[in-house]
């Protein structure tokens, strides 16, 4: 691990205790050996299709997994492994989440209290007014309750809350759906400014095209694991600069690159293939792909593929 990493996730696995017919139980492993790290001053974007484990990673870091979840691996903040209790202590202070759902707003709390706390100092009030202005939120918005907000307003308030928390690490889980392009770009600009001020930002997004242009590095998730971590530049350059067949396929599936779909489906957690999770869809598959595949360094990035060069 490089010294200046502020948050790192190593070999994270998450499974849920599930009930089948009758009293039969089984464990559904939804995240396997996932790795990720972020440094102050950078935005790491997480790309990956629906169900690839992006939100669960955020919840695991924040200590927000439900009671039937079992977690293994290490989550490190400022060089120290953090447990559930420490995550709860850091949450909202050092580590802030912009949740994927606007349902996370407290329905009984007025917007102003929600965003800046009950007894804010003058500096926070000023900062809140400034960010509301940038997000085109009228001053009257401060006195509203969540049910009086549109989806887009609620989203902008969630982003504002995380920004004003003063946290060192911000995980934004799909912060832009429901926002028009101007507001989405404003939100991304705010994340960029936070990173430039020295905060670490993890940006989960479906809009990989926007992410390429604002992030420093990209992590690609597939079926609950990281398959590649690379400079955002590599994703702008395209398949030759990328390392994992899935990252290359994601690039080719972008509208501007021909919209070529990837045949097959992301495997369901109950039915994971042996070894490489992408192997059933991979044109380069060999017998060795059924072994456990570690992340390795290739051309300055990290990839989970034995055929990458
Ligand atoms: N409480 C739970 N119990 C059982 N399975 C769960 C639970 N929460 C999530 N999962 C499963 O874990 C997998 C990863 O979910 P996650 O919400 O992290 O996906 P995601 O990458 O954020 O997707 P999206 O882009 O749709 O938000 C999914 O297959 C999901 O069904
Ligand atoms: Ni999600």
Q: Where are the domains of the chain?
A: 5-93+166-301, 103-164
- In angstroms, the CA 46 to CA 191 distance is 14
Full-model pTM: 0.95
The tens digit of pLDDT for each residue in 83-97 reads: 999 999 999 999 999
The tens digit of pLDDT for each residue in 106-118 reads: 999 999 999 998 8
In ligand 1, the atom with minimum distance to the C-alpha of 49 is 25
Class of domain 5-93+166-301: alpha beta
The tens digit of pLDDT for each residue in 37-84 reads: 999 999 999 999 999 999 999 999 999 999 999 999 999 999 999 999
Mutate to test the pocket of ligand 1, among 51, 70, 104, 227 (most ligand atoms within 8 A of CB): 51
Ligand nearest to the CA of 26: 1
The residue whose two tokens read 């293939």 is 273
The tens digit of pLDDT for each residue in 6-46 reads: 999 999 999 999 988 878 899 999 999 999 999 999 999 99
pLDDT for 31 equals 97
Residue 3: pLDDT above 70? no
Residue 296: pLDDT above 70? yes
The tens digit of pLDDT for each residue in 124-141 reads: 999 999 999 999 999 999
SS3 at position 8: strand
Q: What is the DSSP letter of 267?
A: P
Q: Is 52 in the pocket of ligand 1 (CB under 6 A)?
A: yes
Which two three-digit tokens encode residue 10? 């190593």
pLDDT for 1 equals 45
**ipTM field:** 0.99
Distance 100 CA to ligand 2 centre (A): 6
Angle at Cα 275 formed by Cα 307 and Cα 204, nearest 5°?
80
User: Within 13 Å and on the Cβ side, how many CA atoms surround 187?
Assistant: 32
In ligand 1, the atom with minimum distance to the C-alpha of 56 is 18
Q: What is the DSSP letter of 41?
A: T
């Amino acid at each position: 691990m490089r010294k200046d990493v502020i948050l790192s996730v190593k070999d994270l696995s998450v499974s849920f205790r599930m009930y089948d017919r009758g009293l039969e139980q089984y464990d559904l492993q939804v995240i396997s050996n996932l790795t990720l790290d972020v440094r102050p001053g950078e935005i790491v974007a997480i790309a990956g299709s629906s169900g690839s484990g992006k939100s669960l990673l955020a919840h695991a870091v924040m200590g927000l997994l439900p009671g039937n979840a079992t977690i293994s691996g290490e989550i490190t903040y400022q060089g120290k492994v953090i447990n559930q209790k420490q995550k709860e202590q850091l949450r909202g202070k050092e580590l802030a989440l912009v949740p994927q759902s606007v349902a996370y707003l407290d329905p009984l709390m007025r917007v102003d209290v929600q965003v800046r706390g009950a007894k804010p100092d003058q500096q926070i009030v000023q900062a809140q007014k400034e960010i509301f202005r940038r997000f085109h939120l009228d001053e009257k918005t401060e006195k509203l309750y969540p049910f009086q907000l549109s989806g887009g307003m609620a989203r902008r308030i969630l982003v504002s809350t995380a920004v004003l928390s003063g946290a060192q690490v911000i995980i934004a889980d799909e912060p832009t759906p429901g926002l028009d392009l101007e507001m989405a770009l404003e939100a991304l600009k705010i994340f960029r400014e936070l990173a430039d001020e020295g905060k670490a930002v993890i940006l989960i997004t479906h809009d990989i095209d926007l992410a390429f242009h604002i992030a420093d590095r990209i992590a690609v998730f597939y079926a609950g694991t990281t398959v590649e971590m690379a400079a955002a530049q590599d994703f702008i350059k395209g398949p030759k600069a990328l390392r994992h067949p899935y990252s290359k396929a994601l690039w080719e599936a972008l509208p501007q690159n021909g919209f070529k779909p990837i045949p097959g489906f992301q495997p369901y957690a109950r039915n994971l293939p042996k070894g490489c999770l992408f192997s059933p869809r991979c044109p380069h598959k060999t017998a060795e792909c059924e072994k456990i595949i570690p992340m390795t360094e290739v051309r300055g990035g990290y990839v989970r593929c034995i055929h990458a060069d």
